[in-house]
Amino acid sequence: MPKRPALVVLLAALLPVSAHGIAGTAGGPVPDPAVDSTARRGDAYFHLIRSRLAAGQGRLSEALAEMREAIETAPESAELRGESAALLLHLGKESEAEEEAKLALAIDPSESSALRVAADLDAHRALSPEGDPEARDRAIALYGEISRRKDADDEIFPVLARLRALASDPEGAVAAARSFADRRPGDSAAARLLAQYLERDGRKDEALEVLVAFYATNPDAEEILTTIGDLARETGRWDPVVAACSRVLDAEPNRPAPRALRGEALLRLGREVEAVSDFESLRDLVPDNRLAMFQLATAYGEVGRLADAVEIARRLAAELPGHSGIQSFLGEMLGRQGDLEGAGAAFRSAIAAIREGEPEGGERRDGVRRRMASLLLERSRVAEAERVARELEAPEAAESLELLGRIALASQDGARTREIARKLRDRGGDGIAALLEAESWVLEGRADRARVRFGEAESLLGPGVREEAAVSWASAGRPDEAERVLRAWALREPQSARVRFRLGALLDQERRYTEAEAELRAALRIEPGNANVLNYLGYSLADRGVAVEEALGLIRRAVASEPWNAAYLDSLGWALYRLGRFEEARVPIERASRDYPFDPTVLEHLGDVYRRLGEPEKARAMWRRSLEAGSENADAIREKLASGLPAEGGVLRGNGDGRGAPPPAGR
C-alpha cells in the first residue's frame, strides 16, 4: 500500500480521542476504532481521487485499479460505493456500475449517487430502440425521488420529461420540463423544452406564451424566434409576438430578426402600414437579404403598393430565376395590376421552376395554373383560361373541378357546369357543387331550381352565398332577383353594414340613386369607418356632381384609412377634378395609375386631368391606353380623342374596388 499522505496523517492526529485512548499495553497506545475508521475512509477517498485523475487523463487500467483499492479500503461506505458507481458509469463500465450502485443502496437506500446511477441505467434501457417499460417506470420513480431533493441535478428533468411522455403522462412531462425551466430561467434550451412538451399536449397557446415571455427578457436568444413564428402561424395569435418583439426593439431598434417577425405579425393582424414600416427598416438594416426584400414586397402588395411590389419582385426573379415562389408572387402582383401577359409569363416560369419528382410538385404546378386561369376569368378572357385549365395534371381534384365549373359557367354551358358539379359532389364538395348548379340554373332562366340550390349552398357554405346569389342574378340581367336576395338578407341582419353596402351598390348600378344613397348611408351609420363604403358613396356622389364637397370628405376618410389603395386615390383625384381643382387631382390619379397601369377608368381620368392642365399629348396617350385596356366608355373616349376635350362626368367601374358592381363574396 502506498505511503499515507501527510494530509491524512495530519487529519488523524488532530481528531479528538478519549481520555482512555492513550492507555495500552507494551508501553504503546491502544488504537481508537473511530480514528482508524476515519483514516481508512481518508485512504479510500485518496484512492478514489487518484482514480478520477487517472480516468481524466485516459489511463483506464490505473483508474480501475485505484477504484478497487478505494472500495477494498472502505467497503462499508455507501457514499464511496455510490461515487465509485458513478465513475464506473462514466468509464462505460455499466454492469460494474450497476453492481456497485446496488451494493451502495443496500447499505443506504437514499444514497444520492447510487440512486442517480440506477436511474440513469434504467433510463438508458427505457430509451433504447428496443424500449423497456419496466425500466422506464423504475427510472421515473427514481428520478422523481431525486428531483425532490434540494441538490437535485438540473439535467435529470429533461430525461424525466421524456420518460413521462413515453409513459403517456403529458401532464407529468410538462411538469418536469417546467421544473427545468424554473431552475434555468435564462436558458433558451429549457424554455424551448417546456414549449415543446406543452405543444405535444395540444397546449400551443401556452407554448407560445412561454416563448414570447422568455424572449422579451432574453433578447439574445434569437434562436427561438423561428419556433415563436411557427406557433403564431398555427395558433393565429400574433398580438403577444408584437408585444415581445416591440419590447426588444424599443431597447435595440437595429435587431433585424425581431423586426422581421414583428413585421409579419403586424401584416397578419391587418396593420399593413405599420408592417411596411418594419420591413422598410429591415431592408435598410440588411439590404442584401433577399428574404427581407421578399417580405417587403409582400407587405407592399398587402397595402396596395403594387408598383413597388412588382419592382422588388422583378429584381428578385432576375436574381433567382428558378425560385417558383418568387415567380408566382410576381405573377400575382402583375395580375392585380391588370398586366395579364406579364403575369402569364411569370406564372409559366414558376411552373417550369417546379421540377419533376419534387414532393407534391404536380399539385404545386396545378395551384399556379389555377391561379393563372382565375385571373384570366376575372378579365373575361374565357378561352385563354380554358387553355390553361387543359394543362392541369390533376383535373379531377376538387379545386380543379371548381375552376372548370367556373369556366363552364363563363362559357354559358349550364349542362357542362352541372356535370362538373356532380363530380364535385362525389369528392365531398357538396357546397361548391350546389353553388355551381344554382348559377347554372340562373344562366338558363330556371329561377325555381336556382333558388333551391342557392339555399342548399348557403346551408353548407354560410351566408356569404347570398352575395354570390345576388351577383349571379344581377349578371344574368335579373336585378329584381338580386334585390330580393339582398333585401331578405337585410331583414335577417338589419345591423349588417356589409349587406346594406351590397344592396346600396346594386341600387346604384340600377341608377336608383336616392335609394342607393339611403342604403349606403345606413351602412356608414353602422360602421362609420368602413373605407369601402366611404369610397363608394363618395365616388358615386362626385361622379354625378352631387354634394361634391361632401363626397371629397368621404373619400379623404377612406384614403386616410388605406393611403395606398389605388382605387381610393383615383376616387380622390376624380372628386378634386369635379371641383375644378385639376392640379391637386393630378398627384393622386398619377399615383393610382402607377399601381393600376392597365385600368381603363384610371387611365381615362388621368387623360382628362392632363387635358385640363394643358398637356394634350399626355392626355391623348392616356386615352389611347384606356381604349387598349378595354374601356367600357370607348365611344366617349374616341370623341375626346377627336375633339381634344374631355366630356364632363365619368364612368363607374365594375371590378369590385368599391365603385362598381360588388364582386362575388369569398366563402
Q: Which domains does the chain have, with CATH numbers?
A: 558-643 (1.25.40.10)
| CA–CA gap between residue 579 and residue 296 (Å, rounded) | 37
The residue-averaged pLDDT of 278-300 equals 95
Q: How far apart are the first and last CA of the chain?
A: 88
Model confidence at 657, pLDDT cuts 50, 70, 90, reads very low
The residue-averaged pLDDT of 276-283 equals 96
The pLDDT value given to residue 191: 96
Model confidence at 45, pLDDT cuts 50, 70, 90, reads confident
| CA–CA gap between residue 392 and residue 84 (Å, rounded) | 70
Identify whether the C-beta of residue 533 lies closer than 8 Å to the C-beta of residue 522: no
Record the cell numbers describing residue 405, joined without a space. Answer: 365549373
The pLDDT value given to residue 113: 85
198-243 pLDDT, tens digit per residue, is 999 999 999 999 999 999 999 999 999 999 999 999 999 999 999 9
DSSP of 279-328:
HHHHHHHSTT-HHHHHHHHHHHHHHT-HHHHHHHHHHHHHH-TT-HHHHH
Mean pLDDT of the chain: 88
The pLDDT value given to residue 343: 97
Model confidence at 559, pLDDT cuts 50, 70, 90, reads very high
| CA–CA gap between residue 435 and residue 450 (Å, rounded) | 9
484-518 pLDDT, tens digit per residue, is 999 999 999 999 999 999 999 999 999 999 999 99
The closest alpha carbon to 660, from 635, 633, 636, 623, belongs to: 633
Record the cell numbers describing residue 555, joined without a space. Answer: 373619400
Residues 228, 229, 235, 239, CA torsion sign:
positive
Q: At what angle do helices 340-353 and 361-378 cross, to 10 degrees?
A: 170
Give the pTM. Answer: 0.78
Identify whether the C-beta of residue 170 lies closer than 8 Å to the C-beta of residue 178: no
661 pLDDT higher than 60: no
> HEC states along 366-429?
HHHHHHHHHHHHHCCCHHHHHHHHCCCCCCCCHHHHHHHHHHHHHCCCHHHHHHHHHHHHHCCC
Least confidently predicted of 149-153, 408-412, 444-448: 149-153
The pLDDT value given to residue 76: 80
**SS3 helix, strand, coil % of the chain, rounded to 5?**
75, 0, 25
652 pLDDT higher than 60: no
370 pLDDT higher than 90: yes
- From residue 8, alpha-carbon distances to 40, 41, 125 in Å are 9, 10, 41
Model confidence at 650, pLDDT cuts 50, 70, 90, reads very low
| CA–CA gap between residue 381 and residue 193 (Å, rounded) | 54
Identify whether the C-beta of residue 589 lies closer than 8 Å to the C-beta of residue 576: no
Record the cell numbers describing residue 362, joined without a space. Answer: 404536380
Q: What Rg, from alpha-carbon coordinates, does the chain have?
A: 39
